[in-house]
Amino acid sequence: MSEIPSELRYRESHEWVRDEGNGTAVVGISDPAQAALGDMVFVELPEPGMSYSQGEACAVVESVKAASDVYAPVSCEVIEANGALEDTPELVNTDPYGEGWLFKVQLADAAEMEGLLDAEAYAAQQDD
């Protein structure tokens, strides 16, 4: 069974967000998403300083099976990209909620976090 941490918020499109509590958040893709995609071979991350609206495509993860867009789970400005993924994109597979995070953001509207799925709702979506 896939891991779905309860402290995170999720988009139906499989991105997770961890609120850091200071107006910033960390973004990645969920364990069910990385499992469905298979072995990661390349990750294209957004540049720090780029701003995105909630739901806007902002990154790409490429696996042996497919390339998939990653969508901004909240309106934000990117403040850091996970440079480790440049050389080791498989971190997304081995540790999707830890070392395999994609990018850190400054939240434009923290209230958008409330509109995301909690772990229970996201898990229920996986069963459909």
pLDDT 10s digits, 40-57: 999 999 999 999 999 999
Residue 39's domain is classified under what CATH number? 2.40.50.100
Q: Among 107, 60, 110, which residue's Cα sits nearest to residue 79? A: 107
pLDDT for the residue 1: 58
Domain presence at residue 128: no
What does pLDDT average to over the chain? 96
Domain presence at residue 78: yes
Both tokens of 71, joined, read 């969508």
Look-up: residue for tokens 């459909």? Answer: 128
pLDDT for the residue 126: 86
Q: Is the dihedral of CA 12, 13, 16, 19 positive or negative?
A: negative
Domain presence at residue 119: no
Domain presence at residue 34: yes
Domain presence at residue 125: no
What are 28-40's pLDDT values in tens digits?
Answer: 999 999 999 999 9
Q: Which residues, including other chains, have CB under 8 Å from residue 7's CB and lie 6 or more apart?
A: 18, 119
**Domain region containing 78:** 9-110
Calpha distance 117→18 (Å, rounded): 12
What is residue 115's DSSP assignment? G
What are 78-110's pLDDT values in tens digits?
Answer: 999 999 999 999 999 999 999 999 999 999 999
Q: Is the dihedral of CA 113, 12, 85, 62 positive or negative?
A: negative
pTM: 0.96
**Number of domains present in the structure of the chain:** 1
Domain presence at residue 48: yes
Would residue 85 be called left, alpha or beta, if left means φ above 0 and alpha means ψ between -120 and 50 degrees?
Answer: alpha
